[in-house]
Chains A and B, each alone.
Chain A
Amino acid sequence: MNTQNLQIQNARLIDPASGLDARLDVFIADGRIAAIGQPPAGFSAERCIDATGLIVCPGLVDLSTRLGSIEPELAAAVAGGVTSLACPPDTKPPLDEPGLVERLVRRSETLGLARVYPIGALTHELAGQRLAEMNSLARAGCIAFSQANQPIDTLLLLRAMQYAATFGFAVRLRPQDQFLARGGVAHDGEVATRLGLAGVPVSAETVATATALLLASETGVRLHLSRLSSAAGVALVRQARLSGMQVSCDVAIHHLHLSEVDIGYFDSNARFDPPLRAASDRDALRAAVQEGLAALCSDHTPVDADGKQLPFAEALPGATGLELLLPLTLLWAAQAKLPLLEALARITCDPAAILGIDAGSLSIGSPADVCVFDPAEPWRVTAESLRSQGKNTPWLGYEVSGRVRMTLVGGQIVFEA
């Protein structure tokens, strides 16, 4: 790879991994961070980037990105400052074949945009019937295994965890009891009652979370719980952590800001899986992310217009998120009066640690995956302003702050605005 020697000047550098928040220059050589503050000996910059008034931070790491079409979504990723992303296995077809995983990895490497980390299917075809070939999938590039949103019975889950634990693979689960959630499309609360929508009770999440925690502690598998939606759900994880268990979790950025009330009059853009819950749940999720119990993810799910212009219960769940991850994290930080150093950790070093990848930090020698953004620049979320093919989000029409100016992956400028 031919990379330039780069110097990013006059920026406010925020590196949550090292706790650094200062006006320091960044020096990049051979695709890696060569130095911070003072240039290394003999360094001459081929390009100097003036980042006056801007913030330089590690490229964002997203724990859950559904790609749909690879190229536009990876372009959307770097436009949103995301340089590494984990892709859940519920692609079409599911990531249960090493060949599929290899193709995905190769394709994304060729594009040279964001780095893609596939999550392999835990079971063949995600059907919950028999275990997937985890070793072959890991060799092909999978960094963890998951059932995505598909159900799995408890016995097979136990076996899958035992098998994964044998080889040291991490297991990710979106905790939702398939029976309690059956047919549900919204939080089983006031709004679902009023609108006559079938409810998903909080117990669907807590029952599945408790099951996953019990089986994980029995098998010793490294467990990550994806997209918790309820106060009771994060409370269970907090309790498990206090008892010394190595479990991680994340919260989707939408759930940090929205609640069931945002469904309004059947707005299918507010249809999520798991559903948006009560305001008290949202507040508990905010607390969990603030204390560092949970990381944040974009839960990026491109859905086309045909999938959303349907009655609420028939509409596909999910929203576009890659390009909103940073602005919505900044919004939360401002609302919670949280230092950026703390807030940005949830979308950089914390998810990198969960994924076990060398990313999300600006330490010397690490890959030069960098995001340069203007924290104050406002922009309006519209179908045109989003690069993703997924145009649906509850934020459509809203103005947000925080615009990515430049994204580097391995020292290469992959996005510049």
Chain B
Amino acid sequence: MHNPQLNAHGELTHLLSIEGLPRAVLTHILDTASSFIEVSDRDVKKVPLLRGKSVFNVFFENSTRTRTTFEIAAKRLSADVINLDVTRSSTAKGETLLDTVDNLIAMHADMFVVRHAASGAPHLIADHLRRLGRSDVHVVNAGDGRHAHPTQGLLDMYTIRHYKKDFANLVVAVVGDILHSRVARSDINALTTLGAAEVRAVGPQTLLPTAIEKMGVRVCHDLREGLRDCDVVIMLRLQNERMNGALLPSAREYFGSYGLTPAMLALAKPDAIVMHPGPMNRGVEIDSDVADGRQAVILSQVTFGIAVRMAVMSIVAGN
């Protein structure tokens, strides 16, 4: 099946998901991002690549954090950024997703950065653009339902590569609510594509998708087993609505079994790094001593995230 993110030359024209992207494409994005890291240290933190281009941040689901990082990235590429809070405006008036997209195309959008609560919404937009013959308009997925958050996945890979250099011998534990996590899916896809030695999915059965082992991970229900001798720990945010008793008895009980404490982290390799996509629930999935500890690289993730998003936008807009 043709990957809808790639054009006829195999070049990335949308970023919808990590799944199905060749390793060379991921490496190219990471390499390009490393060039953008330096741009943010300059007096003028801007390059003129996307000058005159209009980037529409279309967020059907609220996320000030993610929207801001995309906004900064687009502005550092000299694009004009328009933020649309669709949660309040058009959908309330009965406009469909594709109605909204058609309107924005009529306003000469060059790129959509899309956040949506439904898995596959960015694919739907990309498919719509294909049917309209608008290969000059690009879609970047800023998180769709439980499906994918590819720029987060890429910035996580950038962070891992920054600290660990190579993926070949890495053991990575992804801990927490994998069932509802688009970050987990993107991380797992990226890690398996980049050749990590072992990826572990750690959590209770209620928070793991049925066929998660088919994504190439080792399932661990016991946090100790999941953390033992690993190089990287990726903690996932536990959404408040998961703690209402249907999937987990309580936040306290979850922390007791799956919370990352200094004692638990001691099971990992001494130089293991701890990552978290943010925002953290201190005392729920992660202990403050770990979150603020020397092994945490959570703020580096944020910094790298801007460069990675600059890389993604400049690559897709050029293809």
Cross-chain contact A312 with B98 (CB below 8 angstroms): no
Also in contact, A266 and B214, with CB within 8 A (given A195-B147, A196-B145, A309-B98): no
| B178-219 with Cβ < 8 A to chain A | 182, 185, 209-212, 214-215
Name, among B16, B123, B124, the residue most crowded by chain A CB atoms within 10 Å (CB to CB).
B124
Stretch from A10-18, A148-156, A186-194, A371-379 contacting the other chain:
A186-194
Which among B36-44, B112-120, B257-265, B310-318 touches the partner chain? B112-120
User: Contact check: which of A190, A193, A196, A306 meets B148 at CB < 8 Å?
Assistant: A196
Q: B210 contacts which of A196, A201, A268 (Cβ < 8 Å)?
A: A201
B266 interface residue (CB < 8 Å to A): no
Q: Is A265 an interface residue (CB 8 A)?
A: yes
CA distance A190 to B128 in the complex (A): 26
Please report the C-alpha to C-alpha distance between residue A312 and residue B124 in the assembled complex, in whole angstroms: 8
Known: A265-B1, A309-B96, A310-B124. A197 touches B211 (CB 8 A): no
Task: Judge if B105 is at the interface, Cβ distance under 8 Å.
Answer: no
Nearest opposing residue in chain B for A314, CB measure: B118
What 0/1 pattern do residues 119 to 136 of B give for CB contact below 8 A with A? 111011001100000000
Residues of B with C-beta under 8 A to A190: 211, 214
| Chain B residues within 8 Å of chain A by Cβ, number | 29
Contact with B along A167-193 (1 / 0, CB 8 A): 000000000000000000000111011
Interface hub of A190, A195, A309, A311 (most chain B Cβ within 10 A):
A311
Instruction: Tell me whether B119 and A196 are in contact (CB under 8 A).
Output: yes
Q: Which of B16, B97, B214 contacts A310 (CB 8 A)?
A: B97
Question: How far apart are the CA atoms of A196 and B212 in the complex, in Å?
Answer: 11
Most buried by B among A195, A201, A310: A195
Contact A192 B209 (CB under 8 A): yes
Instruction: Bits for B87-99, please: 1 = Cβ < 8 Å to A, else 0.
Output: 0000000001110
Complex Cα distance, B145 from A198, in Å, reads 10
CA of A311 to CA of B97, assembled, Å: 8
CB distance from A66 to the nearest CB of B (A): 23
Contact status B210-A309, CB under 8 Å: no
B283 interfacial by beta-carbon distance below 8 Å: no
Complexed CA–CA distance, A319 and B121 (Å):
20
Asked whether any CB of chain A lies closer than 8 Å to the CB of B19, the reply is yes
- CB < 8 Å: which of B4, B98, B128, B146 contacts A196? B146
B21–chain A nearest beta-carbon distance, Å: 13
User: Can you report 10 residue pairs joining A to B where beta carbons are below 8 Å apart?
Assistant: A189-B210, A192-B211, A193-B210, A194-B215, A196-B144, A196-B147, A197-B145, A311-B97, A313-B118, A313-B145
Listed from nearest, the 4 A-B pairs whose CB atoms lie closest are A266-B120, A196-B146, A196-B147, A311-B118
